[in-house]
Amino acid sequence: MKLTHLGLVAVLLAVVACSSPPPAPVANIALVTPTATRAAPSASIVLVATTSPTATPPPTATATPTPTPHPLTIQSMRERAYPGSDITIEETLQPGSNYSRYRASYLSEGLKIYALLTVPNGEKPATGWPVIIFNHGFIPPDVYRTTERYAAYVDWLARSGYIVLRSDYRGHDQSEGEARGGYGAPDYTVDVLNAVASMEKYPDADRNRIGMWGHSMGGYITLRSMVITDTIKAGVIWAGVVGPYPNLFQRPTATPTPEGATPEPTSTGTPSFNRRWRAELAETYGTPEENPEFWDSISSPAFVSDISGPIQLHHGTADHSVPLAASEYLYQAMQDADAPVELFTYPGDDHNLAQSFGLAMQRTLEFFDKYVKGS
């Protein structure tokens, strides 16, 4: 028979009244339904203790999400895609002595990025012309013009049998996008890596002979590019911002101000972004002293054991924008990693190596001829 609700209550009252001292507490009480036979008058309903818990569904396992690396980390930048695009000739400019000049464009993250492009005249080598990706230093984005600045630098390389592409990073001159700066966002490096990919598609270029040149902030971009990708055969850096991020955090020029020098902080993007990126990184990840692992993870010098090719460094001893200590730091880091590196210093010379320009350019060309053109 089945116990009704009222019957069950009566049984329980009978048990309480007739039982001896209660049993020890148990995990759960299960009611055993009696068989359908009439019990003797003196019989009582028996409750059986069991330690088996009532079956409940197991909790659903929740996977712990993998933290997303900060976009500035070298790991994060290595995981991104840099597809580039076909190069579009936007305008034919006045030619150089033995090369053609163009205002060109390519795509980076869907943005149209303009660039100065030079292509040697004459018969193209069987595999195509060697290429130099030219990374300019900081120029206020609203002042920058594709055809201005660095003209002598580009001319020297272009006359020497190289295709030269000098990117107008996003937000510069006619390039689309916001100029958020070179250090607090990966944007300019992304634009340069897409420039590399675009030149690999360019019909006149040899995709296996691509080098990179950078000055000041452009040196930072050059070093960063060479520890992210393995396609750049060699890099030349003049007065580069190539110190570790903890020093860059203190001062945009990458190293503490040397004794007797005047700090010359250089903003590299929009004022609002420049004001906040350092503070936001410190608030989120801690200061360099509190969390050195994070600051190493975004610092290119910490990854020079993976660099794609040799580096040649040039620095004036009287450079008060980016102190010589920046290049010395990178030189020592590369030596410690057994990575090929050269360092040339120029006594009394400034940030642009104005007094030693010819010598520095000659050394630059010899280096590129050996490791890019001759590769």
What is the average pLDDT across 329-343? 98
Q: What CA–CA distance (Å, rounded) separates 71 from 186? A: 7
Structure tokens at 180: 């958020």
Of the pLDDT bands very low, low, confident and very high (cuts 50, 70, 90), residue 246 is confident
The whole-angstrom separation of Cα 375 and Cα 372 is 5
Place of tokens 């400034």: 350
Hey, what domains does the chain have and what are their CATH numbers? 5-50 (no CATH), 74-373 (3.40.50.1820)
Position 147 confidence tier, pLDDT thresholds 50, 70, 90:
very high
pLDDT at residue 285 is higher than 80: yes
CB-based contact 316:239 (threshold 8 Å): yes
The reported pLDDT for the residue numbered 57 is: 56
pTM of the predicted structure, to 2 decimals: 0.78
CA distance 139 to 290: 33
Residue 45 in this model has a pLDDT that exceeds 50: no
42 Ramachandran zone, left/alpha/beta (phi>0; psi -120 to 50): alpha
Q: What share of the chain is helix, strand, coil (3-state, %, to 5)?
A: 35, 20, 50
| DSSP E strands, 5-72 | 28-30, 48-50
